[in-house]
Amino acid sequence: MTLAKQLLPILCASIFLSACSTGSNKSFVLVPPSESQIENSIKAQVSLTLNAFTPVAGQALPNETVLDAYLSRDYEPIWIQDEKVNTSIYKLVDVLEQSYTHGLNPIHYHSGIIKEYLALKQPSPQQLAEMDVIATIALTSYAHDISNGRYEPQLIDPNWQLDAPNSHWKELLYLDSATEMVNALPLLAPRSPQYQVLQKWLVYYQELAAKEKDILVSAGVPLSAGDTGPRVAQLRARLVQLGDIRFSTRKLNEEQFDSSLKEALMRFQQRHHIAADGAAGSKTIEMLNIPLKSRAKQIAYNLERWRWLPSELEANRIWVDLTNYTVDMHLNGELTSMKAVIGKPDRKTPVFKGLMTYMVTNPTWRVPHRIARENLLPKLQADPNYLIKHRYKVYSSWSIGAKELDSTKINWKSISEDQLAFRFEQEPDEGNALGQFKFMFPNKNEIYLHDTPAKHLFREAERAFSSGCVRLEKPMVFAEAITKGSKQFNEMNNTLKTGSNTVISLPNYIPVYLVYFTVVPNANGMLEFRNDIYARDNLMEEAMGYSPIDPRDSI
């Protein structure tokens, strides 16, 4: 079935009654209509065609942008010049058909329909006008999607609040020629080296899945150094297929688990966040056997996430890498990283961008309602002296001037979660839940970075233990880095000595990104597949709903 026939229900029948005839020639000779005929036809068809192309999925097509572009050129065609079809339309079709290499779905860009128009031997002015408008819609939609992402992240996941759309893609429609427009398309994709490496790996997985079957390792007892047999050969072949072993002409016993195979398996385990013991146990075999097509989809989800980020990232920034449980400080040309503790799966740390403007030394912790209801109240019902032991104060309400109460005179067992209206505050000391520092980038989620007395949690490999805020392994290093060389640096040290609760404005405000990627390139350029701790890939799969392997597979 052709693309045009698939899309007929969403197109006005009058537009395509004459356009769906077949032809074998890529180029054709026009019975030249006049330019005024074509322009008049475009003027008549542009609104009708725009309305016919309703969104297939994800973002609405940027129809207003197309209409504005035609208005600005007095409905002069874009793809037809001197009564001939500009050859750049063929290059456009090629670009659209290759959109799957960015994890996008070619069916959204109507290349098959454009090709059917191009196959007409003697197109009418109306057909030429229709083709011109459809090609411009396809160009504009692709330009938008490759630079901003096709999907609205908050429609996929309400906790995903990082979306930084730009309008640079619109400028492409005002270039001097169709050739320049098409040539500008590759420049709209994110320029991040990580995006570019991910895209290359996507193409690798796509091509590999198209020409080879997955080499699977049969279930069985764990495999380790010294073992022999056909399962060892499967393991070796799979690691070759996935790129962890480079093909070698050196003769070896394929069924022998030697030291080089162990090293390759450890590399595989490290980049899949598995304990790198060099033995193929059940977890490792499970990861080895994930199909190539599934991995291609996962890469595509992460490419879309990159398109939701700003087109350019600030040189100085804080990068909270949620799936890696780390905070990376990009400051003054240097990178400093430290471990972090993030929100539990039932209290996810949201994805968003903020601006860090101040810090608090020796902070008081004002317990959020949810934590008070779900965590603090049960402890109080078990031990009425809990607040005194842990240096909490309790106030009658959250209003300014609320009266401080004696916690030992409150019957906590008689209070239910929905009745709890008190305000709880934990005084500054070494046992305070926020430790010595709180780093603030004001946001609606009330998320911030802070110290913690629970240092033992940083020894864990997976560190999703908080109620949403991000705990820092080395808060003093963080505080020194963001105040280095300023008067605030001395102020900070003085307040730590005196133990005073002090708000310190930062000498320079710093953007903070809380990001979530389940596939990233590692330092060696290999892909690192991370645990999808918040099950966000499942939401991406539901929203995107296709297999970005090969356009022929989706037709």
Active site residues: 450, 469
> Which residue matches tokens 């008689």?
414
SS3 399: coil
Distance CA 442, CA 318 (A): 14
d(CA 177, CA 61): 22
3-state DSSP of 252-275: CCCCECCHHHHHHHHHHHHCCCCC
431 to each of 3, 21, 438, 449, how far by Cα in Å? 65, 77, 14, 17
Residues contacting 234, CB < 8 A, separation 6+: 215, 216, 217, 218
Tokens 């989620």 sit on residue: 445
HEC secondary structure over 486-505: CHHHHHHHHHHHHCCCEEEE
How many whole angstroms separate alpha carbon 502 and alpha carbon 171?
48
Q: Which residues contact 517 (CB under 8 A, 6 or more apart)?
A: 302, 305, 321, 323, 530
**What's the chain's length in residues?**
555
Structural tokens at position 524: 């060696």
Asked if residue 146 lies in contact with residue 300, where contact means CB atoms within 8 angstroms, the answer is: no
Select from 338, 309, 317 the least CA-distant residue to 326.
338
